[in-house]
Amino acid sequence: MRMLINVPETVVADALRGMAAAHPELTVDVENRVIVRRDAPVAGKVALVSGGGSGHEPLHGGFVGPGMLSAACPGEVFTSPVPDQMLRAAAAVNSGAGVLFIVKNYTGDVLNFDMAAELAEDEGIQVAKVLVNDDVAVTDSLYTAGRRGTGATLFVEKIAGAAADEGQPLERVEAIGRQVNENSRSFGVALSACSTPAKGSPTFDLPDGELELGVGIHGEPGRERRPMMTSGEIADFAVDAVLDDMSPRNPVLVLVNGMGATPLLELYGFNAEVQRILTARGVAVARTLVGNYVTSLDMAGASVTLCQVDGELLRLWDAPVRTAGLRWGM
């Protein structure tokens, strides 16, 4: 096993200690697995809490900070955090204005966040929830009933986070988050499998010279396997799958997201193909983000996420943000 780790059992704790050392603007509770804005709770501000299995960095801990999340709960690798983590995070960031849970549609995440919401409300914390289910590749998968939550999570956390930082009330921040999710679609492609620290070898079999179209961020199977294709051919398949499921009337945000092991040289080339197709299909592009944001350990591949935006959503997207994984305007 060639990984830059000590032992698999401590990989998440070691990463959290390193994050704490690199980002003093965060309060990182290594033992209880909670990452919080150091200035939390912010008086009068709706707090945003998200989380999920580790291995998708910078999602979610890398998106904690002004303009995005108030707290994040990292689970073990590809494993949901537990309700106690979520409750601890909600209590740490609640200012009395309420807490919004942002949840990717995976069974463990959904069940545990639901339980945490009940526990928080028992303690007098008002909780709302946005479920992210943007992946058009499959309706049901190994870990979910319905569509999986993938790249749109970043759009929801950023845009809803900006609304919360403006002081908008919980009901409005929740509605904005739901609107962003409803306006978003994603499709992912794997060129290689990922390897978890515990297993130390690929988590699924992807033969040389083949790729998985519609892969999930844990390596769940997608629509089909094919012999290797060019960047342009992959982009044609991915963007067509997204646009077959949505008909944008307004401009879109574009996320060309790396799965963890794909160099920026390739991602920018892939983005050129994505932009070519959108232009040909008459889809106006408002903003584009390229990089590794919602990853799957060391998987090679990419995903495309489109989010239709109006003037208000675009304004919130452009609002300042300062986190470990995303920052502009500050």
pLDDT of residue 130: 98
The CA distance from 225 to 209, in Å, is 10
The CA distance from 217 to 188, in Å, is 8
Q: Which two tokens stand for residue 42?
A: 């912010």
Active site includes 218?
Answer: yes
Q: Active site residue: 66, 155, 218, 246, which one?
A: 218
Q: Where are the beta strands (DSSP E) in the chain?
A: 26-29, 34-37, 47-54, 71-77, 99-104, 127-132, 184-190, 210-213, 224-227, 252-258, 285-291, 301-308, 321-322, 327-328
Q: Please identify which residue in the block is written with the tokens 């339980």.
A: 115
The CA distance from 149 to 154, in Å, is 10
- Is there a contact between 82 and 47 (Cβ–Cβ < 8 Å)? no
Active site includes 56?
Answer: yes
pLDDT of residue 330: 76
The CA distance from 102 to 72, in Å, is 10
SS3 label, residue 37:
strand
Contacts of 137 (CB under 8 A, 6+ apart): 148, 187, 188, 213, 214, 215, 216, 222, 223, 241
What is the rounded end-to-end Cα distance, in angstroms, of the chain?
A: 41
The CA distance from 260 to 279, in Å, is 27
The CA distance from 226 to 220, in Å, is 16
Return per-residue pLDDT of the chain as tens, 330 residues. 789 999 999 999 999 999 999 999 999 999 999 999 999 999 999 999 999 999 999 999 999 999 999 999 999 999 999 999 999 999 999 999 999 999 999 999 999 999 999 999 999 999 999 999 999 998 777 767 789 999 999 999 999 999 999 999 999 999 999 999 999 999 999 999 999 999 888 888 889 999 999 999 998 888 999 999 999 999 999 999 999 999 999 999 999 999 999 999 999 999 999 999 999 999 999 999 999 999 999 999 999 999 999 999 999 999 999 999 999 997
pLDDT of residue 154: 98
In this structure, the strands spanning 184-190 and 210-213 are antiparallel
Q: Active site residue: 33, 56, 60, 148, which one?
A: 56
pLDDT of residue 222: 85
**Full DSSP string of 196-246:** -TTT-SBSS---TTEEEET--TT----SEEEE---HHHHHHHHHHHHHTT-
DSSP 131: E
pLDDT of residue 18: 98
Q: CB under 8 Å, gap of 24 or more: what pairs does 15-20 form?
A: 15/54, 15/57, 16/61, 16/74, 19/61, 19/324
pLDDT of residue 221: 84
